[in-house]
Structure 1
Amino acid sequence: LSDVALLVEGERLPCHKIVLASASPYFRAMFTGGLREAAMSEVRSTGVVEIVHLLGKLQVQRDIAMCTSKSMPHTETFQVRLHGVKASVLRQLLSFIYTGEVRLTPSNVCDLLPAATMLQLACVTRACCQYLLAQLHPTNCLGIHQFAVTHGASELARDADKFIERHFCELAGHEEFLELSDRSLARILACDRLHVRTEADVFSALVRWVHHNRPARSPLLPDLLPLVRCHALSPDFIDRQLRNCALLREQPRAREILAAAHASLLSHRRVDPNRRQSPLNSVIYAAGGYYRYSLRTFECLSLDTMRWERLPDLANPRSGLAAVSVRGCVYLIGGRNNHESGNSDAACLEVFDPAAGQGQSRWHRCAPMSVSRNRVAVGVIDDKIYAVGGASQSQSHCSAERYDPDSDQWLPIAPMRQARIGLGVAVVDRLLYAVGGFDGCQRLSSVERYWPEDDRWEPAAAMTQPRSGAGVVAVGKYIYAIGGYDSRQQLRTVERLDTEANQWQACAPMLRPRSALAAVSVDDCVWVFGGYDGYEFVSSVEVYCPRTDSWTEREPMSCGKSGHGVCLGVAPSV
């Protein structure tokens, strides 16, 4: 009872027009679009309608002939010959059309997808894309992306792009990456949302790609190197490459690009490093704090849902600690455990790895500081953590030290000009600023600036009023000093330092006073959390917008507290 046949690879597959037309817009157009073949009921090998799938367009060729054999009536016939599809694949698609079922396997999915796309079988196309999406892995994601682009599977291509962004460091070590064309590599390196722990990973991946076919690819290095965010590299890393990388000796123009970035970084000029934005969801981590006694709580605020999530507790209760994110990990430094039986100051450094999977410990301890530091402040330059000031019991520190995550080692740096506890620290243009604090006798308005290459501190412009326990953050060229305590009262006032003009200027005050608060910058805005207002511990969260010079209230913390550490980081893996 079939009334049409499909020819592929020499096989003749009898079908029914009404069934094909009901399942496929492709066949519906063929059988109902007024074409001559729509009226034919018999198919013969001498009548050919060739349907060729080429770059998403259908090229139809007609060669209608009359059969003249004496043994059969003189009847006009045709065959539908499909090109670019295997007989075995077409049989599976016809089975789907008649039964609604198709079995996808690694061996057939890459043949089924283009054939289903050609025949406009949307259900099969979606199923193939979902199957390939589930198979994405650092070893195959580049190939799947190219396959999706070639066959017009735009949604699968976008999903593969997202996977590539998230897993760049893993895929860069596999053969698919090394076989990329220079255009495909450039497209990836230019991506703003490439997830890397450090821009040095991108530079190293580029060098590996060039070395894979050095004679042909070495001349391409000067054109590809600008896609690396060279101002996000550390001067030490660049210096090592300039001294040791043979490719840079081969390509003087590439060497000039890197040398210019090195000179700019060492000059501490205001240059936008154009850092990549991680495709992973961002959260604000809040660790420890004080409410009648030191806390061991650890939680994060999702910036997408604005909901707090409780995370595994700290190993020990801590307040007066500092938190910072480096290469995707959260580092908690110093602090004090205030408890019923006494107080103990901490020199410890604990690390939380949000990327740790199930069965892996997310917390681990690193080398401790040389001394305990309660109410310490920290800053990051070139992925190294600077711990500044603080106190051990009743001794206030002017000392500071630097931690290198690569060597897990603390080294002393030059001491500040005066002791400071409850200070704030911010980094602008690779210069570290120590702001305010308490020297053991009085609250301070003074500010010091640290030059890492010279290992020296120098005075900077003093604030308009003394502050300890203030929130201190950098946004662009400005350093904000928010709230704090001036020996008389908790403060609402806010001021900011223009680091280029070396001048402080007043900003809109917070909605409520607070000291021992925590602050962090997010998307050029300043977020402040908790603190003490002189009467109670505060759970409220406020956000300052520099563009409008105004504060708004956001989702509060789970409880009021002060002396906690906060930082911006990537969301923990599920």
Structure 2
Amino acid sequence: MEVHQFNVKSLEQTCFEALKDRLCPEKCIGLWQFTKVWYIPILFQLKYEAFHFICENFEEVSLCEEFLQLEVQELADILGQDDLTVTQESKVYQSVLRWINHMPEERQGAISTLLPKVRLGLMDKSYITDNVLNNDVVKTNPGSHLLVSDTLKVMSQPSLLCSESGINNTLFCRRLPNAVLLMVGLFSNTIEAFDYRTNSWITVHTHPSLEDSMTHLDLYSTVFLGKCFYIVGGGLRRTSPSDRVWRFNLVTHTWQEMSPMKVSRYLMSANVLKGYIYAMGGSRNYTLHRTAERYQPNINQWTFIASMNEGRISASCTTLNNKIYICGGQSNRILNTAEYYNPDTNQWTLISPMGTPRCDLGVVAYMGHIFAVGGRDGPIDLRSAEAYDPVTNWTLITPMGTPRCDLGVVAYMGHIFAVGGRDGFRDLRSAEAYDPVTNTWYNVPEMVHRHRYFDIAVMNKQIFVVSCRTGKIVECYDYTTNTWSVVFSGMDHNDWVKCCVISGLPNMAEYCSPREPIIPRTQV
């Protein structure tokens, strides 16, 4: 690790980010094994990231060549993770057989170590009988054969699990989800989490003593960073913006007010890059900011960075190639300009302007491009969309079927999804998807409700829309069934609800449904 020898921290961080960005099913195990050998601080986090990637993408990883090179204890550590992401527990069992059959003579005895990590009680009884109990590797190992037999007995006589039988309850407990959707409502003083594996909501925090100035904020920005949820800026109205910052620690379940921003900001843009929070633009007393600042969590300090070339409100930003891109917005006019910030040089650089001025637009990075979708140009809501390639600049793509501003945009399953928004004074239920390969938009089913002031997130092959102004409602789009469904409906009105997807917490179980044993399990 030559970089570490030279003790160049910025270069170490750049290397960390580059390696993290290159995590893939084919190479993640080798990277994880490499980071376990070197006792270098920056590799500790990379080891965690690689291991988390393995668990989150287990089914793909288990089919790769590197998987077959794992040591038995390494494989046992992976299979034993409570949040191992698998669609069916039978996939875990099949991965064990594949690993053993790669070197059958040397590895057959490992079944006694690995089979207890498989949650047999979550599989179909007939599958266990046909494919596990009668498997040659299992049959020749007395301990494993007994484990399977005991599991089948419990399936037939559930009361055995509650007795002093010595049967491991974990075999019958659902694995934790690798991620949960977190919904924060300041007006209602609640934080709720959605567990997709049980299709249920859990109230994880209420805080009736939150300051009044915090509970009535709207148009604030939120970010998720380092096991914490941050609320940044916002205001009671345009003439009363806030510079205050609050943090909810997802491990300790505590709120804390952090150091304020250098400038009060309303309708600003915020993003996370390389472990820092960035706050850009916004306004105060109708004065637009060109300024931008960066928050460093470990020292609880905001510092100004270089100012943008344009003052902006109602812009949209994203990250690409370790740079922050901010597009459009409004100053004394609707802007078609866009620029990026390079943290290595502390410099903003204007790129070619967009073909159309846009504010209240949707921006997302995908496949090495920045997509700018919809928005409005003065009173005109836009159907048009365009894509920025850092090499070839902006290119108009096929326009959407419906004009949309204040829309939700996400990259998901090889497509760009444009969801909801407004067309004039009409809140939209419709949604559509863009296929970059064919350069076409197509309609997906309409949402159940019209949403105003909503947030959007992607989790577990579903798009979640969280809204508040018409009553707290959450609905999700399932790509596999091409349907929308309401997964939460509350009565809190006028709440500025935000959401994010959280993962990798040491206390994930606190954000999920109770993991009670499930007996019997009749389907895979």
Query: Structure 1-normalised TM-score?
Result: 0.47
Separation of aligned partners in 2, 1:304 and 1:527: 24
Matched residue SS, 2:336: strand
Contact 1:378 1:387 in 2 (8 A): yes
Q: Counterpart amino acid of 1:336? A: G
**Which of 403, 407, 412 is the matching residue for 1:513?**
403
1:488 aligns to 2:379 (yes or no): yes
- How has the CA–CA distance of structure 1 residues 287 and 367 changed in structure 2, closer, same or farther, with 3 Å as cutoff? same
Residue of structure 2 in register with 1:334 after alignment: 233
Residue of structure 1 in register with 2:178 after alignment: 280
Greater mean alpha carbon deviation, residues 121-130 or residues 429-438: 121-130
Q: Counterpart amino acid of 2:244? A: C
Within a 5 Å distance, the mapping from 1:213-292 to structure 2 comes to: 280-283=178-181
- Cα deviations by residue, 1:28-50 (Å, 9 ceiling, x for unpaired): xxxxxxxxxxxxxxxxxxxxxxx
Separation of aligned partners in 1, 2:188 and 2:381: 22
Residue of structure 2 in register with 1:17 after alignment: none
Query: How many residues align structurally?
Result: 316
- Cα deviations by residue, 1:314-341 (Å, 9 ceiling, x for unpaired): 9523433323332344333222334xxx
Residue of structure 1 in register with 2:216 after alignment: 317
Matched residue SS, 2:349: strand
Report which of the two structures shows the higher radius of gyration computed on alpha carbons.
Answer: 1
Separation of aligned partners in 2, 1:392 and 1:351: 23
Contact 1:306 1:555 in 2 (8 A): no
Matched residue SS, 1:425: strand
Contact 1:470 1:481 in 2 (8 A): yes
Residue of structure 1 in register with 2:356 after alignment: 465
Separation of aligned partners in 2, 1:529 and 1:297: 26
**Which of 493, 507, 511 is the matching residue for 1:573?**
511
- How has the CA–CA distance of structure 1 residues 120 and 372 changed in structure 2, closer, same or farther, with 3 Å as cutoff? closer
Matched residue SS, 2:312: coil
Separation of aligned partners in 2, 1:539 and 1:296: 28
Residue of structure 1 in register with 2:441 after alignment: 550
Residue of structure 2 in register with 1:451 after alignment: 342
1:351 aligns to 2:242 (yes or no): no
Residue of structure 2 in register with 1:430 after alignment: 322
Q: Counterpart amino acid of 1:361? A: H
- How has the CA–CA distance of structure 1 residues 329 and 120 changed in structure 2, closer, same or farther, with 3 Å as cutoff? closer
Matched residue SS, 1:406: helix
**Which of 276, 283, 296 is the matching residue for 1:391?**
283
Q: Counterpart amino acid of 2:179? A: N
Deviation at 1:301, TM superposition (A): 6.9
- How has the CA–CA distance of structure 1 residues 472 and 558 changed in structure 2, closer, same or farther, with 3 Å as cutoff? same
Residue of structure 2 in register with 1:367 after alignment: 259
Contact 1:321 1:334 in 2 (8 A): yes
Contact 1:390 1:421 in 2 (8 A): yes
Matched residue SS, 1:449: strand
- How has the CA–CA distance of structure 1 residues 364 and 554 changed in structure 2, closer, same or farther, with 3 Å as cutoff? farther
- How has the CA–CA distance of structure 1 residues 365 and 517 changed in structure 2, closer, same or farther, with 3 Å as cutoff? farther
Separation of aligned partners in 2, 1:405 and 1:414: 19
Within a 5 Å distance, the mapping from 1:79-98 to structure 2 comes to: none
Matched residue SS, 2:304: strand
Greater mean alpha carbon deviation, residues 361-370 or residues 390-399: 361-370
Identity value in percent: 26
Matched residue SS, 1:370: coil
Residue of structure 1 in register with 2:459 after alignment: none
Separation of aligned partners in 2, 1:350 and 1:531: 28
Deviation at 1:531, TM superposition (A): 3.2
Residue of structure 2 in register with 1:152 after alignment: none
- How has the CA–CA distance of structure 1 residues 554 and 334 changed in structure 2, closer, same or farther, with 3 Å as cutoff? farther
Separation of aligned partners in 2, 1:514 and 1:309: 33
1:416 aligns to 2:308 (yes or no): yes
Separation of aligned partners in 2, 1:307 and 1:517: 27
Contact 2:235 2:241 in 1 (8 A): yes
Deviation at 1:447, TM superposition (A): 0.8
Residue of structure 2 in register with 1:122 after alignment: 149
Q: Counterpart amino acid of 1:281? A: A
Within a 5 Å distance, the mapping from 1:121-140 to structure 2 comes to: 122-123=149-150, 134=169
Separation of aligned partners in 2, 1:124 and 1:547: 49
- Cα deviations by residue, 1:177-209 (Å, 9 ceiling, x for unpaired): xxxxxxxxxxxxxxxxxxxxxxxxxxxxxxxxx
- How has the CA–CA distance of structure 1 residues 309 and 377 changed in structure 2, closer, same or farther, with 3 Å as cutoff? farther
- How has the CA–CA distance of structure 1 residues 304 and 318 changed in structure 2, closer, same or farther, with 3 Å as cutoff? farther
Separation of aligned partners in 1, 2:308 and 2:218: 23
Deviation at 1:423, TM superposition (A): 0.8
- How has the CA–CA distance of structure 1 residues 335 and 532 changed in structure 2, closer, same or farther, with 3 Å as cutoff? farther
- How has the CA–CA distance of structure 1 residues 117 and 280 changed in structure 2, closer, same or farther, with 3 Å as cutoff? closer
Q: Counterpart amino acid of 1:573? A: Y
Separation of aligned partners in 2, 1:310 and 1:559: 25
- How has the CA–CA distance of structure 1 residues 379 and 499 changed in structure 2, closer, same or farther, with 3 Å as cutoff? farther
1:532 aligns to 2:422 (yes or no): yes
Matched residue SS, 1:365: strand
Q: Counterpart amino acid of 2:372? A: A
Contact 1:378 1:386 in 2 (8 A): yes
Deviation at 1:457, TM superposition (A): 1.0
Within a 5 Å distance, the mapping from 1:41-190 to structure 2 comes to: 115=142, 117=144, 122-123=149-150, 134=169
Residue of structure 1 in register with 2:391 after alignment: 500
Matched residue SS, 2:150: helix
Matched residue SS, 1:369: coil
Q: Counterpart amino acid of 1:514? A: R
Contact 2:246 2:255 in 1 (8 A): yes
Separation of aligned partners in 2, 1:550 and 1:435: 22
Deviation at 1:507, TM superposition (A): 3.8
Deviation at 1:382, TM superposition (A): 0.6
- How has the CA–CA distance of structure 1 residues 535 and 529 changed in structure 2, closer, same or farther, with 3 Å as cutoff? same
Separation of aligned partners in 1, 2:426 and 2:168: 52
Q: Counterpart amino acid of 2:220? A: L
Matched residue SS, 2:406: coil
Gaps of 5+ in 1: 1-53, 58-83, 85-113, 136-154, 167-278
Deviation at 1:368, TM superposition (A): 2.1
Q: Which has the bigger relative contact order, CA under 8 A and spacing at least 6?
A: 2
Separation of aligned partners in 1, 2:147 and 2:196: 40
Separation of aligned partners in 1, 2:394 and 2:284: 33
Q: Counterpart amino acid of 2:411? A: S
Q: Counterpart amino acid of 1:280? A: N
Separation of aligned partners in 1, 2:429 and 2:227: 27
Deviation at 1:306, TM superposition (A): 8.5
Matched residue SS, 1:123: helix
Contact 1:425 1:432 in 2 (8 A): yes
